[in-house]
Amino acid sequence: MLRAFYRDNRMVPLGIMLLTFLVFVYHFELDRQGPLGEIPAAAVPDKLVVDTPRTHSSPVVEIVDPVDDAAEQLAHPAIPSAVPSSKPKVPANSGTTTHSLHLPKTINSDDVVLMFKTGATVLWKRVPIHLATSLSPNRINPNNVLLYSDYPETIGDWDFIDVLANTSDAVRHSENFQPYRQQEDYESRQNYAEISNVPGDSAGPAGGWKLDKYKFLPIVQHAGRNRPDAKWYIFMEDDSYIFLPNLLRHLERFDHREPWYLGSLAWIHGDYFAHGGSGFAISRGAWEQSFGKDPNIVEKYQTFTEAHGCGDHILGHVLKEYGVQFGETHGDNRFRYGFNPESHWSTWFEQANWCKPVYSWHHTHSKDVARFYELEKSWNFEQGPLRFQDIFKAMIAPYLHSRVVWWDNWSSKFEIRSNNAQDAKPPSSVKSTDTWRNAWQSVDACEAACVSWADCVQWSFYEDRCKMDSMILLGSGIPESDSRRQTTLPWVSGWLPRRVENWEC
Ligand SMILES: *[C@@H]1O[C@H](CO)[C@@H](O)[C@H](O)[C@H]1NC(C)=O
Ligand SMILES: CC(=O)N[C@H]1CO[C@H](CO)[C@@H](O)[C@@H]1O
């Protein structure tokens, strides 16, 4: 039969057509967004580092091993029925929509509450930019924004709630709470906490960050009580930017009546939780199962709060105690890209995240917030979400050079030094081992080694070391007048952005 088939010339064109058709259909199946199509590819980044020590002194330093996650996914391929359904809006997916019988069709910004957290010592520095951008009324109805601080303030139409106002006497008199008591003192002595180079300025009470952990439970409690009709409670901090249109589209995949707690995975003391600086979303279902059931959660976890350091962890711990698990599938720690614990210029851009939507950036400067807002405004979300590659094109690519002196050296995948070059094993795409092993000898040699490795997109050279990487991280250069130029040799970095253009989705 088979022999007959390929001997029959008339059948050959038919066979080719059939094959082409099958490949075409298969391609669409792979491309499709939705629970079965998307999770395996999306959930396995190289690394998720929350609050790396380089940029942050927080005690939360966790690295998620992609190997473990991948293994876990293979071990549990079945997706719970409650997992998000795909959304038909993205044109590329329109051919293969899966419909769910009971999921809400759309979510708009009237269905969500934005819980915005700040503090008296940073409010005047970080918050005003958000009033003109993140909180713009054409983005979200002001009635759906709740501003939480640790001192009551008003800016124009915006009132900031002192979320610590109802703190128990016991906590109020604790050592950690001292900055809260001192804020009133600063205020009454006509001092400003703005650091704006204007007479009368000061930094405000020292240790304002210590109050941070006390805010999380009262914020979520207050938001749920005061906006009981919301479907989702979205949390953001004053040094973050949330891409609200992207996030709303993401949340549409989940049933808000069920307990969902979504964000960037972090853990400490064995608790999984959503990292606060990356932003997170809690469904109404999750609120009712926890804060809704127990009006005394803040008091009940007073001792736990006193004993631990991070408010986002405390909230995650409490939610877990009430059966609300972190993550996009109930009951395990799977996560996807999107909520970013770092800034865009200190995050790796790689093939694995290139096509994923972005929901947030953390450690934002006011200028970043302004730029993200402009980018978002210019975006046609009907054509698809803003993805990592779109951020890259708008905010990373313009800074890249084929070679630049006095630029920081973040590349790390391979490091060839004079004292390890002899044994250095090049990746398989490198044809000349000599080119690879000579990389430490000069800037030119380092660049040549990078070019010789097919996956290399950035390199950096300092003294006798050459670092190369298959991912791009922008970092920052050292300006001409910077005193750091007096204390070291120049670092030289370079990128191969042409290769990035070939990254595919
Ligand atoms: C503090 O308590 C008052 C009175 O019960 C209440 O109206 C207010 O919303 C509470 N504040 C917070 C932040 O929960
Ligand atoms: C960010 C980074 O890795 N910086 C390093 C660049 O290279 C110099 C010299 O080797 C190091 O001192 C920096 O720590």
Q: 237-296 pLDDT, tens per residue? A: 999 999 999 999 999 999 999 999 999 999 899 899 999 999 999 999 999 999 999 999
| Ligand 2 binding pocket includes 455 (Cβ within 6 Å) | no
Q: How many CB atoms lie within 10 A of CB 15?
A: 12
Kindly state if the Cβ of 11 falls inside 6 Å of ligand 1.
no
Which two tokens mark 429? 């795409």
386 near 379, Cβ under 8 Å? yes
Question: pLDDT-derived band of residue 476, with 50, 70 and 90 as boundaries?
Answer: very high
For ligand 2, the distance from its centroid to the CA atom of residue 412, given in whole angstroms, is: 11
Residue in 164, 222, 226 to alter for ligand 1 test, most ligand atoms within 8 A of Cβ: 222
Residue 345 pLDDT > 60: yes
Q: From CA 218, how far away is CA 296, in angstroms rounded?
A: 10
Look at residue 197 in the predicted model and tell me its pLDDT: 86
Confidence of residue 412 (pLDDT cuts 50, 70, 90): confident
**What average pLDDT score do residues 198-215 get?**
90
> Does 424 have pLDDT greater than 60?
yes
For the CA of 489, the nearest atom of ligand 2: 9
Axis-axis angle for helices 366-377, 123-132 (nearest 10): 10
Residue 82's pLDDT is what? Answer: 33
pLDDT score at 202? 84
Burial class (CB in 10 A: 0-12, 13-18, 19+), 467: buried
Average pLDDT rounded to a whole number, residues 421-425: 95
Task: Give distance in angstroms: CA of 438 to centre of ligand 2.
Answer: 20
For residue 166, the CA-to-ligand 1 centroid distance in Å is: 6
Using a 6 Å cutoff on CB, does residue 491 contact ligand 2? yes
Residue 153: DSSP 8-state: E
155-184 average pLDDT score: 95
Residue 331 to residue 292: CA distance in whole angstroms: 21
User: Which residues lie across from 113 on neighbouring strands?
Assistant: 233
Using alpha carbons, list the distances in angstroms from residue 403 to 193, 200, 406, 462, 495.
42, 45, 10, 13, 7
What residue's CA is closest to ligand 2, atom 12? 488
Report the nearest atom of ligand 1 relative to the CA of 148: 13
- What percent of the chain has a predicted confidence (pLDDT) above 70? 78
Asked if residue 462 has its Cβ within 6 Å of ligand 2, the reply is yes
What is the spatial distance between Cα 258 and Cα 95, in angstroms, rounded to a whole number? 28
| CB atoms closer than 10 angstroms to residue 307 | 10
Of residues 251 and 3, the one with the higher pLDDT is 251
For residue 166 and ligand 1, the question of a CB distance below 6 A is answered with yes
Q: Is 493 in the pocket of ligand 2 (CB under 6 A)?
A: no
| Residue nearest atom 7 of ligand 2, based on CA coordinates | 409
Query: Is the distance from CB of 271 to CB of 209 less than 8 angstroms?
Result: no
- Supply angle C-alpha 136, 474, 398, rounded to 5: 70
Report whether 278 contacts 360 (CB < 8 A): yes
Range from 58-67, 196-205, 234-243 carrying the lowest mean pLDDT: 58-67
Expressed in angstroms and rounded, the spacing between residue 413 Cα and the centre of ligand 1 is 52
d(C-alpha 505, C-alpha 491), whole Å: 33
163 lines ligand 1 (CB under 6 A): yes
Q: Domain residue spans in the chain? A: 2-28, 109-321, 400-505
CA 165 to ligand 1 center in whole angstroms: 7
pLDDT, residue 280, reads 98
Banded model confidence at residue 204, pLDDT cuts 50, 70, 90:
confident
Ligand nearest to the CA of 298: 1
Residue 46 Cβ < 6 Å to ligand 2: no
For ligand 2, atom 13, the nearest C-alpha belongs to: 409
pLDDT band at 201 (very low <50, low <70, confident <90, very high): confident
pTM of the model: 0.79
CA of 461 to the centre of ligand 2 (A): 10
Distance between CA atoms of 298 and 471, rounded to whole angstroms?
43
Nearest to 504 by CA among 376, 352, 385, 365: 352
Ligand 2 contact, 409 CB (< 6 A): yes
> Could you confirm whether domain 109-321 is CATH 3.30.70?
no
Q: Are strands 492-495 and 158-162 parallel, antiparallel or unpaired?
A: unpaired
Nearest-angstrom CA–CA distance, 396 and 295: 46
State pLDDT tens for residues 172-199.
Answer: 999 999 999 999 998 899 988 888 888 8
pLDDT beyond 60 at 142: yes
Band of pLDDT at residue 58, cut at 50, 70 and 90: very low
pLDDT of residue 67: 31
24 pLDDT exceeds 50? no
Window from 197-201, 381-385, 392-396, 441-445 with minimum mean pLDDT: 197-201
pLDDT at 53: 29
Q: Which of 280, 246, 249 is nearest to 388 (CA)?
A: 246
- In angstroms, the Cα distances linking 438 to 429, 448, 467 are 16, 9, 12
Q: Which atom of ligand 2 is nearest to the CA of 475?
A: 1
* pLDDT band, very low/low/confident/very high, at 411 (cuts 50, 70, 90): confident
Architecture per CATH, 400-505: 3-Layer(bba) Sandwich (3.50)
448 CA to centre of ligand 2 in angstroms: 21
Q: Among 65-79, 96-110, 160-174, 201-215, name the one with the lowest average pLDDT.
A: 65-79
